[in-house]
Structures are given as structure tokens and as C-alpha cells.
Amino acid sequence: MNKWIIYVGGKSRTNYEIGKEKHVWGLKSLKSHSQMPQVKAGDSIFFVYNLTRPSKIFPKPIPGFPRVKNSEYFKFEGIAEEIVKGKITKGFYESSLAVWPDNIYQYRFNFIIESVECKVYFTQENVGDDLIKKALLSFHSKGDVANLSFVAEPKKTQEKVTLDINSQELSSLEGKTTYRIAKEVVRDAKLAKVKKEQHLIQYGKFFCEICNFSFYDFYGSQYDYIECHHINPLHQTGETETQLSDLILLCANCHRVVHQSKECMTIEKLKWIVTSSSYNTQ
């Protein structure tokens, strides 16, 4: 079975909502290289609706966004207003029956909706490089389908996985590409930036506010580094007004420890662990 993706621009909201309601999608015309006739019942379909780049999340403007190319030189980052995942119930066909108010869109397929995600962080880390590239391919082809069914070929294939930990040739089949649609809790990067700048102005270098470790002191000034953490995790509070006092600067080690538990460790517990550690009492 194939996986397909279609990009729908923000101006097409009316047609998009009608298509979802009636479980049908169509194109007005087909280009010679269109893969629309290959869409079959049982295939998966992803609709990516309206990619934007809000300035409060991405301060650096990109002219012509999303009319840009994702490559090794440019890391695509944006917000998808909505991503719909569905299953094709009737493959490619032609019909002149009226569905949309502005045109016929006779080249069609039918689908059912399996899931809907809103305000999805559309980055390589969150949705995968291939999904981004194929969404942009659909965008540049004015909403035609793009095939998502690429699977990377592993360099080696092996019928079974060797689990002998004493073996010098432990191996496993790897390299398969998978696609994940996930919901992202959006953070304002400007708050973290201001928090760090204030700390730097006050102290002249970064250090962890829990364990006092300083990249500056240990590795040198060119490696000065710190991470910013929400004292009250956003996945627990939901949408909220965040103040600078709600943030704390942590070294990479402390930040990793905080996020080891599913519910996120409290700062009070982290302080207790650090102060009672045998490493600090030596």
C-alpha cells in the first residue's frame, strides 16, 4: 500500500472543509507526470493544511515562505495549522457530480479520516525530512499528490537479530524510514533567549542554577552553553502565560535528569539529588 500527501493552502479552507465533510478529494486537471491515477483503495493519505511561520515562534523571517526548498543547507521550520491522516476507500476515478461550489474537480478519490492534529510543529525532528519534502513537492505542484512510501534500503540485510552480548559482530536490521505525526507543545524561543541574556549580563558566563556546572570554566569561553527549562512543565499546565521567573537555566546533565521521568521531575527533587550526591560530599 502507498502513502500519499497533499498540501492544501490557507485560501482553500472552504473546499478543504467540504472535502473532509463529504470524504472526497479532487483535482481540476492532471499534469502528465501526476501520480493521482495511482491512488488506490487501502492507501494512506495525509492532508497538510496551511503552513505558516509565526513571528512570535520563529523571529527570523523567510521571504516567500513556504515557497522554499528543504535541503542540507536550509532547515525547514514552520507550523502546520492541521494535519489529517486518513485511509483511501475508493481509488482514483473521474466524476462530474457537483461537490465544491467553485469548480468540478473531476479527478477524485474517496477517503475516511483516522486522526486530526492541530498546530503541528512542522520540522525535521518532529515529522521527518521526507514528509516535509513531499509536502513541499505537493505545494509546488499546486496540490497534486506526492508519494510518501519511500523506504530507505539498509546496507545489510539479516534474517534474524543476534543477541549474544559477547559476540564481536552483534548486528541488527536497521535503516527503515517511518513517519510520525505528533502534537508539539509550542514554546516561545524569545523568552528563553531573554532569560539567558539576563543571566549572561549579570554573571558574565553561564552556569547551571542547580549544580553550578559551567561549560565556560570547564571547556573554555568558546563553548559557553546552557539550557532553559520550564519549572512547571507546559505539557502539564497547558496554554499559560509564562514569566521569566517560571524559567530556570540548567546544564545538559541536569536537564536530561529532569526529563527522565514521564511526569517530569520537580526542581525541588533535583536540588535534593544534587545536594545529597556523594559526588558533592567528597
Looking at residue 66, its pLDDT comes to 83
Q: Please, how many CA atoms are within 13 Å of residue 27, restricted to the half-sphere of its CB?
A: 19
Predicted local distance difference test score (pLDDT) of residue 17: 95
Q: Where in the chain is the domain with CATH 3.10.590?
A: 3-147
Q: Is the pTM of this model over 0.95?
A: no
CA gap 216, 168 in Å, rounded: 39
* Cell (9 digits) for 59: 523571529
Report pLDDT for 234: 66
pLDDT by residue for the chain (282 residues), tens digit each? 899 999 999 888 999 999 999 999 999 999 888 999 999 999 999 999 999 988 888 877 777 788 776 554 467 888 999 999 999 999 999 999 999 999 999 999 999 999 999 999 898 888 888 899 899 999 989 899 999 875 433 333 334 344 444 545 555 555 555 555 554 555 567 888 888 888 988 899 999 999 999 999 998 888 889 999 888 876 666 666 778 888 899 999 999 898 886 667 888 999 998 888 755 544
**pLDDT for the residue numbered 155:** 36
CATH fold for domain 3-147: ph1033 like fold (3.10.590)
